[in-house]
């Protein structure tokens, strides 16, 4: 039984006479019971016709069963109105307000169609959120119908606020989401990482919105990512600004009937990104961190990010990935010690839940795929947690080991003074080798400490602890004076770096996982 009252009777009659579908009638009568919208169209139509005809009986009832006494004889005009209701419903069965969305797409058959489309995409989830995209012109038609009903309500000294009307999206979701959830074996909730989207279009009435661009031009401004200025938000904003009188001059109330129904586009699914974090070691001096492409040509096969991401993409069945890390090393630099923290964002994963044993097996798969890298502490993290990798990045320290060549012959005592230098402040102009991808700037950095191991007259090992972001190679050779002071200045001889290793990246993230 529908929760309609005596005050709803003229609204029901007026809407049915305008050709509105039964679910739009319920919306404008502010029926907020979701089960009402799940009932069959035929049952709802029959009950609404019975409801408006009750006013002719000696004792009328509202739809909730309450008796209303009436001593008045049957109204001849009422019989004419009932005939016009029947005619309006048979002349065209396309609702002028929802354009068929709440007529032809609320039955179990369409819910099964949506569910089958989701199943074909092979997502794994235990909950989903249903999103619905409607043509912007439905907002115009809704506004028109509201003004049409508002006039009737006002004449009877009642009030119908626009916000009181149930939205088409809500009515549609109430009608179909239970069946979709049942078919997919998943709970349909307000927030879920898995989103099932249903979109409708109606080309025939696209011009319904165009008059608003002339009456409210400031609401419609071109944007890069939108094909049309008539977005739903822009239309709603314009409808809030336009006066009832001006609207009625440009658009009919109630809205005109359409010749075609809305068309449902392909159902799409999207899962929010999953983030995987860990630390990697790089043992090769011929492996870039990311694909090395110069002038459109790839220079080396493989990269750290590809070696790590390939098994993850396969296991999570993701559409793509984004790789980030705490700094980066050059292609000829190794990363040793506990490794460098990294995070991989997996885009639209079709599988998102893995237990600890499965993640550990994934780590092993990555490590067995190549002897050039090794991963540790692999784990699933939240998006917010990945920001910790970048927080205060320049305040962190990194430790390096470098093999140095000097032009001038040296002895072990010549190196001792370096150990006494603490927190050496250097100014580094953007190195020439990275100027093509980094803005020109002068960066202040600290070399916290240095120790040395003498090897021979022209070689020694230099161990440095520096502020993160320090260009070590440039600190050694000076980069044609672009780094000041540099090791050449300190030792008063030309020097160069032959090999460089990252010994540690002192960021306490992600959390260590015991073996």
43 is a catalytic site residue: no
Contact criterion met (CB below 8 Å) for 277 and 510: yes
Give CA–CA dist 135/139, Å, rounded.
8
Length of the chain as a residue count: 515
The DSSP call for residue 73 is: P
* H-run or E-run covering 151: helix 137-155
In the beta sheet, which residues pair with residue 385?
A: none
Both structure tokens of 161: 């606020």
Give CA–CA dist 174/32, Å, rounded.
10
CB atoms within 10 A of CB 338: 16
The DSSP call for residue 450 is: E
CB atoms within 10 A of CB 373: 22
* H-run or E-run covering 443: strand 442-456
Give CA–CA dist 187/353, Å, rounded.
16
Q: Which residues of 178-210 are buried (b: 16+ CB within 10 A; e: fewer)?
A: bbbbebbebebeeebbbbbbbbbebebbeebbe
Q: Which of 276, 362, 344 is nearest to 304 (CA)?
A: 344
Name the region of 492 (left: φ>0; alpha: ψ -120 to 50; beta: rest): left
Give CA–CA dist 305/322, Å, rounded.
9
Q: Which of 157, 234, 221, 258 is nearest to 242 (CA)?
A: 234
Give CA–CA dist 250/211, Å, rounded.
7
List the alpha helices (DSSP H) in 165-317.
168-184, 210-215, 232-241, 244-250, 304-316
Q: Which of 150, 138, 58, 155 is nearest to 98 (CA)?
A: 138
Catalytic residue selected from 93, 107, 170, 330 = 330
Q: Which long-range contacts (CB under 8 A, 24 or more apart) does 335-338 make?
A: 335/280, 335/281, 335/282, 335/501, 335/502, 335/505, 336/281, 336/283, 336/501, 336/502, 336/503, 337/281, 337/399, 337/502, 337/503, 337/504, 337/505, 338/279, 338/376, 338/504, 338/505
Q: Which residues are catalytic?
A: 330
């Amino acid at each position: 039984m529908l929760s309609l009252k005596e005050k709803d009777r003229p609204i029901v009659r007026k809407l049915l006479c305008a050709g509105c579908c039964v679910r739009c009638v319920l919306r404008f009568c502010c029926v907020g019971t979701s089960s009402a919208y799940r009932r069959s169209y035929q049952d709802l139509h029959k009950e609404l016709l019975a409801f408006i005809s009750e006013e002719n009986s000696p004792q009328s009832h509202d739809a909730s069963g309450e008796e209303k006494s009436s001593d008045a004889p049957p109204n001849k005009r009422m019989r004419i109105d009932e005939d016009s209701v029947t005619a309006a419903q048979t002349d065209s069965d396309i609702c002028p307000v929802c354009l068929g969305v709440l007529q032809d797409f609320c039955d179990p058959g369409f819910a099964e169609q949506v569910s089958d489309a989701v199943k074909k995409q092979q997502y794994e989830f235990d909950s989903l959120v249903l999103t619905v995209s409607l043509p912007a012109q439905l907002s115009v038609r809704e506004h028109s119908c509201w003004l049409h009903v508002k006039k009737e309500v006002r004449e009877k000294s009642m009030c119908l606020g626009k916000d009181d009307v149930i939205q088409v999206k809500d009515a549609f979701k109430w009608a179909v989401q239970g069946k979709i959830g049942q078919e997919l074996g998943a709970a349909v909730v307000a927030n879920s990482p898995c989103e099932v989207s249903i979109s409708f279009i109606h080309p025939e009435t696209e011009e319904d919105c165009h008059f608003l661009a002339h009456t409210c031009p400031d609401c419609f401004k071109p944007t890069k990512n939108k094909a049309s200025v008539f977005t739903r938000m822009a239309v709603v904003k314009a409808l809030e600004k336009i006066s009832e009188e001006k609207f009625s001059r440009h658009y009919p109330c109630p809205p005109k009937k359409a010749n075609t129904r809305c068309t449902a586009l392909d159902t799409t699914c999207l899962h929010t990104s999953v983030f995987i974090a860990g630390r990697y070691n790089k043992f090769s001096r011929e492996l870039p961190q990311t694909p090395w492409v110069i002038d459109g040509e790839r220079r080396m096969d493989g990269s750290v990010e590809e070696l790590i991401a390939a098994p993850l993409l396969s296991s999570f069945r993701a559409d793509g990935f984004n790789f980030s890390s705490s700094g980066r090393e050059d292609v000829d630099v190794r990363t040793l010690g506990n490794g460098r923290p990294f995070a991989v964002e997996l885009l639209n994963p079709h599988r998102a839940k893995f237990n600890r044993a499965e993640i550990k097996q994934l780590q092993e798969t990555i490590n067995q795929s190549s002897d050039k890298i090794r991963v540790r502490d692999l784990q699933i993290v939240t998006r917010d947690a990945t920001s910790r990798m970048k927080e205060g990045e320049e305040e962190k320290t990194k430790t390096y080991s470098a093999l140095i060549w000097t032009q001038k012959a040296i002895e072990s005592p010549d190196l001792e003074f370096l150990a006494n230098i603490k927190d050496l402040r250097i100014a580094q102009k953007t190195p020439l080798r990275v100027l093509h991808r980094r803005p020109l700037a002068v960066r202040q950095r600290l070399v916290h400490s240095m120790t040395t191991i003498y090897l021979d007259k022209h070689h020694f090992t230099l161990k440095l602890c520096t502020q993160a972001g320090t260009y070590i190679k440039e600190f050694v050779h000076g980069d044609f004076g672009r780094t000041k002071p540099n090791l050449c200045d300190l030792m008063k001889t030309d020097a160069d770096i032959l090999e460089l290793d990252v010994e540690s990246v002192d960021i306490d993230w992600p959390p260590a996982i015991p073996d």
